[in-house]
Structure 1
């Protein structure tokens, strides 16, 4: 049982790996769902915090007809986040699952999908002592030397009426090993409040508000590779992330500095669908569309960055401080 969740580099999303399913379903449906939720939640949170970034690089909205096309990359870090790379598994909250070694009922820290705790074995029994099965709990990304969550997308911005700018971001549908698809889209709006002031041309700063929504959609079919008897086995994931920001920036001709306060609200749903027939352990049965893993985030963050303008070419970098701190870098082409 390697791990339930893997992150894809271009635009991370979740998929249940086939060899994991046999193990988690051995413990029974309720235990499997409880463990899967605790295990995957930190990675879902990391993705949502990651994609909440990159919506702005200035407090100034573009003038009517001005545009900018950007290649944006976000990288969120989690290496030293003990509260996200593991969680406390308390057997008293499970119906059929116990630890194999040591005190079988004592709560113990185990790996999340982001962690690196290995060699933790559990035992599943039916309560009679006649039938039991043991397996190793999965580790996570740190055990494979991965300590960050990367995403990337294209983004375009166009100036409309005075002080207003609309934005769109997307990743075209990407085929994954001919068994799945991954896509991203988002829309946003920015309004420059200082553009309404009589002295807006001479003010040293620009202040604006930004609202952005990002959606990630992912589906993956793994019936043939799951190792679990069944049919139409797949995962369908849907991530929705809202970002509400207050932004300020300098108004210099070449190098500018910007910063913002942001409110992030996101929801992730990962639906495990299809039929799964468990043929090992004390609970041999068939599950149909077994469960939906749901994770929500609501948080405040702050960022600071700089932008360099050289004619039609611009680059910007900023660092966001939040539950999952994120570095954003972008290459931009356009004019105001």
Structure 2
């Protein structure tokens, strides 16, 4: 349960950092707010897509007919230094400017730790008798100050052999609601062992199989009651879908085995800022904004995994590392027959 709480804490923390500056960022206009939020949240969205796709396999040998395994899997995808900051180029923004007149500066992402970056937006007023109000504020920092540089995930996974050389897999993270936050996901996979069709399968020293898996995650964070910005039904909503294609190889020894694989991950994560917002300064002063923007992150790339598995009767444990844009560790406790 601790890992489940870590996932919820991460989602709450990232959303909190982002929403604390909603009023300020919207003062620069919807386009500027959307551009900044896209760069700021990108490592969190991408890291999560890599994290929830770890731990799909610990063996290339498919389970026998009606064989099953229940696993408790914990993952962590690591965020490198190159994803903890980005260059904010004000020439690409419509209204956002650095207070000191700089054109470019390195600023924090959701996993960064750069504070004290001040920006300004010159105000406009559509009512002559109401003076324009400039907006001056500090850009949000990230989780780097809390020494959090990974994206965790944890779930239950079940595998079942239902055809020769073929097993179906399902994973599940129950949707938990706490502190106005909901996060949950599920996944389905199909693994087939190619070597099960060889005439000398039982004496062949390794097993080779292929895996196709789909994972869906959705989460929401309602911050209407925080009074950050006047308005109603204010929330973040995230919808993530990924696909994994993997070739797996493993040894076939009774107790200790090694396994590995080469795979390709592709996915899309969409985060929507929804609700109504009444901003009192900057370029949209005195305007009411509804469902301001949606941002999208995409991942696609090759990944390689290497791990080891220990089998003691019906109990097994495995540990592996995946090399990818967001490399990560996966550990699992497995029970089955």
Q: Structures share a fold, TM > 0.5?
A: yes
SS of the residue corresponding to residue 201 of structure 1 reads: helix
Deviation string 1:200-229 (CA, Å, 9 cap, x unpaired) is: 000100000001111111122221114211
Deviation at 1:20, TM superposition (A): 2.2
Aligned position for 2:139: 137
Deviation string 1:255-284 (CA, Å, 9 cap, x unpaired) is: 000000010001001111110110133421
Aligned position for 1:3: none
Aligned position for 1:295: 297
Aligned: 1:164 with 2:163: no
Separation in 2, partners of 1:287, 1:195: 59
Aligned position for 1:308: 310
Aligned position for 2:264: 263
Deviation string 1:226-256 (CA, Å, 9 cap, x unpaired) is: 4211111112111111111000000000000
Aligned position for 1:182: 183
Separation in 2, partners of 1:282, 1:67: 60
TM-score (norm 1): 0.92
Which structure 1 residue ranges, 5 or more long, are not aligned? 1-6
1:90/1:105 contact within 8 Å kept: no
Deviation string 1:30-63 (CA, Å, 9 cap, x unpaired) is: 1101100011111111111111211100010101
Aligned position for 2:235: 234
SS of the residue corresponding to residue 143 of structure 1 reads: helix
Aligned position for 2:83: 84
Deviation at 1:182, TM superposition (A): 1.6
SS of the residue corresponding to residue 195 of structure 2 reads: helix
Deviation string 1:296-324 (CA, Å, 9 cap, x unpaired) is: 00110101000000011100000000001
1:13/1:47 contact within 8 Å kept: no
Separation in 1, partners of 2:108, 2:266: 26
RMSD: 1.8
- Greater helix fraction, Structure 1 or Structure 2: 2
Once the two structures are overlaid, the 10-residue window that deviates more, 278-287 or 290-299, is 278-287
Separation in 1, partners of 2:331, 2:283: 51
Separation in 2, partners of 1:173, 1:299: 28
Aligned position for 1:331: 333
Aligned position for 2:128: none
For these two proteins, the number of residue pairs brought into alignment is: 324
1:92/1:105 contact within 8 Å kept: no
Aligned position for 2:221: 220
Q: 1:233 to 1:130 in 2, by over 3 A?
A: closer
Which structure 2 residue ranges, 5 or more long, are not aligned? 126-130
Aligned position for 1:112: 109
Deviation at 1:130, TM superposition (A): 6.4
Deviation string 1:141-176 (CA, Å, 9 cap, x unpaired) is: 111221211110100000011100000000112112
Separation in 2, partners of 1:190, 1:254: 22
SS of the residue corresponding to residue 6 of structure 2 reads: coil
